Amino acid sequence: PIYLDYAATNPLDREILSKMMMVSTHYGNPSSVHKLGKNAKIRLERARELIADNIFVDPNEIIFTSGATESNNTVLESVSRANKNAHIITTKLEHKSILEKLEQDKNIEVSFVETDSEGLINIDDLKSKIRDNTKLITIHYVNNETGTIQPIKEICEMLRDTGILIHIDAAQALGHVPLDMSKLDVDYMSISGHKIGAPKGIGLLYIKSDSKLNPLIYGGEQERGRRAGTENLIYAHAISVGVRKAVRDFDERRATEQLLKNLFLSELNSLGVPYELNASKNVSPHIINIYLPFVTTDIMLTRLDLKDVYVSGGSACNAGTVQPSHVITDMYDENRANRSIRVSLNYMTTEDEIKKAATIFKEIYESLK
């Protein structure tokens, strides 16, 4: 099989797995006052420090969550509960964990900032949408369907001294685009473990030290009262190693991904497979979203699946349904969304896999022509 769906999830990294096994013997509850508990607590904080050191933040600014979905929901819930009628600005291209949460919360007024044909936000439009009760801007750093990288730095500069909080969903950013928090003045950031080789079910929320947070989950005083529930030491270590590797190997990974992306597109070109890129300018190297005029998304996915090539029709969260991608529909139209697929790779992908996949694209194109 050729797995080209890394934006949906990644296999468990072997180094991460061995780290998980190593810490698994420390089964004490980090809140217990005996030695076993204290030992677990010390180890939990070591994982947090490793993460903090690698993204240049303070360990107190990091909490462990169950994933980017929970991190995103936590930020929106926090802002909603702190304000009566909070106005939040976002885009229509967000992950469902933002859009659905906003939709559900009747206390939140939402404005959607304009995005261009590449999915990039229009900063002037963002400026014009700010109101007196605007409390938060929430925006993805890298789009999970198109790979488009948003101008977060410019947004932060524009919002400086306005008192408006900024949240970025960086689930697709870590390991693929530079992520140095000392250079980004954001208040909150979400990260997902399974996008960087850790298991599903662990994530991070960065909370700038002077920014408040009302918890989503109440109970014990874990995570300094910001997220209740006995901490998962094993998963905390898993994501810490994932973060460290993503940062340490960043240059190498990025170069590999860029090379593979270019190779895939040049192979399609030389094989004569017609396609158009849905986003091409400011795009992360691990995501390729293409419009295939000769085939619908569901047929293409089925044909590729029969040949054991695994890609996606949009975001994995919509998989299994025939709904066209909300992102491509918003950027173009439903017809184009119905004929687009997302190919996503990572540093583990090989040139051979890319060439084989392109050849299979060619075979499918020939058979449908």
By beta-carbon proximity to ligand PMP, the closer residue of 152 and 268 is 152
Nearer to ligand PMP, 123 or 316 (CB): 316
- Of 69 and 289, the one with the shorter C-beta distance to ligand PMP is 69
- Please pick, among 263, 317, 348, 360, the residue that the annotation labels catalytic: 317
Paired strand residues for 65: 203
Task: Spell out the residues 6+ positions from residue 284 whose beta carbon is closer than 8 angstroms to its own.
Answer: 142, 147, 148, 149, 172, 173, 176, 177
- How does strand 276-277 pair with strand 287-291? antiparallel
Q: Does 312 engage in binding with ligand PMP (CB under 6 A)? A: no
Task: State the Cα angle at 17 between 238 and 13, rounded to 5°.
Answer: 85
Is residue 156 flagged as an active site residue? no
Judged by CB under 6 A, the stretch of 17-25, 29-37, 82-90, 164-172 that binds ligand PMP is: 164-172
If the CB atoms of residues 40 and 325 are measured against ligand PMP, the closer one turns out to be 325
Q: Does 144 bind ligand PMP (CB under 6 A)?
A: yes
**Pairing between strand 86-90 and 276-277?**
unpaired
Check residue 69 for interaction with ligand PMP (CB under 6 A).
Answer: yes
- Min CB(202)–ligand PMP separation in Å: 8
The least CB distance from residue 163 to ligand PMP, in Å, is 26
Query: Closest separation between CB of residue 161 and ligand PMP, Å?
Result: 28
Which 166-185 residues touch ligand PMP, going by CB under 6 A? Answer: 169, 171-172
Pairing of strands 287-291, 340-344: antiparallel
Binding mask of the shown chain, residues 93 to 112, with x at each position contacting ligand PMP by CB under 6 A: --x-x---------------
Site string for ligand PMP, 229-258 (x = CB under 6 A): ------------------------------
Q: Which is nearer to ligand PMP, 94 or 267 (CB)?
A: 94
| CB-nearest residue to ligand PMP | 67
Of 63-71, 157-165, 221-229, 239-247, the window that binds ligand PMP (rule: CB under 6 A) is: 63-71
Among 19, 101, 135, 140, binds ligand PMP (CB under 6 A): 140
Binding-site ranges for ligand PMP (CB under 6 A): 67-69, 95, 97, 140, 144, 169, 171-172, 192, 194, 203, 315-316
* Residues with active-site annotation: 317
